[in-house]
Structure formats: C-alpha cells, structure tokens
Amino acid sequence: MTDAVAKRHVTPPAWLMRPNGEKKQLEKARWNVERIAEIFIDEPNTVFEVDDIARLVYGSTGKRNRENVRKHIPAQRTYMLSRLTPIITRYGARGRIISVKLYEKTGLDDRRTMLEELDRLKSRKELTEERYGQMRKIFEL
C-alpha cells in the first residue's frame, strides 16, 4: 500500500487593524493570494495602486517591493478568476502594471478591459477555447 502524501496547508498571515481602520499584515514580506483577495472583495470600488499593495503586504514601497507586487499580480489574477471574482489590471508605459481593481459588470471600461485580458489569456494559451467561452458568458461580455 502507498501512503497518502500529506498536503501542506499554509495558514494566511493575520491582519493587524490600526486605530484609523487600516489593515496591515502582521508578518511582513509574505504574499498570500487569499489575504489579497480579501482586500479586493472587502473594498470592491477601490483602485489599488502598486504602491498601496506594496505598503500593505511588505510594509514599504521600495523599488524591490513594487517589483514583487508586479510579479505576483498574474498569479493573483488567475486565483481570482478561478473563484469568479476577477480583477482588472491597468497598465502604464512599457506594459508596467500600475493599478488593480475588482471587476464591475456595470462599468463599460471594466467590461472592455476584462475582454482584453481574457483575449490575452486565450492567445497565451492560459485559457482554453471552452473556458474562454464560459468566462465570457459568466461575466456577460
């Protein structure tokens, strides 16, 4: 008989609530997709700049921390898309990620941007044709 492989379960870092109501991670320098998803879902109409996310997760907005945020956004997008709460990514000069926000079906800009992102994921073969069709139907694009 073969023994079942033990699955490693990572508990998300705890939040520290500041007196002014801001959240901050207790453990610094740890990206956790569940915790970041909570932030997006708790504040659905907020546009999060890369600096805001870096300050929240890493404690400061240094160049390296901003780069780390930009590095983790694609994995965060995939995580959120799989849970049917997609995020919209805004790009700046030379394709740099400048901000992220939760997708709203009612916003025309959001719908256009979401369609572009799904098209890009399909062209990069990160989404199958079938899944692409399902996503368009679910998000009413």
Q: Where in the sequence of the chain do the CATH 1.10.10 domains occur?
A: 15-103
pLDDT of residue 113: 87
The pLDDT of residue 7 is above 80:
no
Reduce the secondary structure of the chain to three states and give it as a string: CCCCCCCCCCCCCCEEECCCCCEEECCCCCCCHHHHHHHHHHCCCCCEEHHHHHHHHHCCCCHHHHHHHHHHHHHHHHHHHHCCCCEEEEECHHHCEEEEEECCCCCHHHHHHHHHHHHHHHHCCCCCHHHHHHHHHHCCC
Confidence of residue 117 (pLDDT cuts 50, 70, 90): confident
What is the C-alpha to C-alpha distance for residues 122 and 131, in angstroms, rounded to an integer?
Answer: 9
Confidence of residue 70 (pLDDT cuts 50, 70, 90): very high
What is the C-alpha to C-alpha distance for residues 121 and 132, in angstroms, rounded to an integer?
Answer: 9
pTM: 0.73
pLDDT of residue 31: 83
Return mean pLDDT, the chain. 83
What is the third-level CATH fold of 15-103? Arc Repressor Mutant, subunit A (1.10.10)
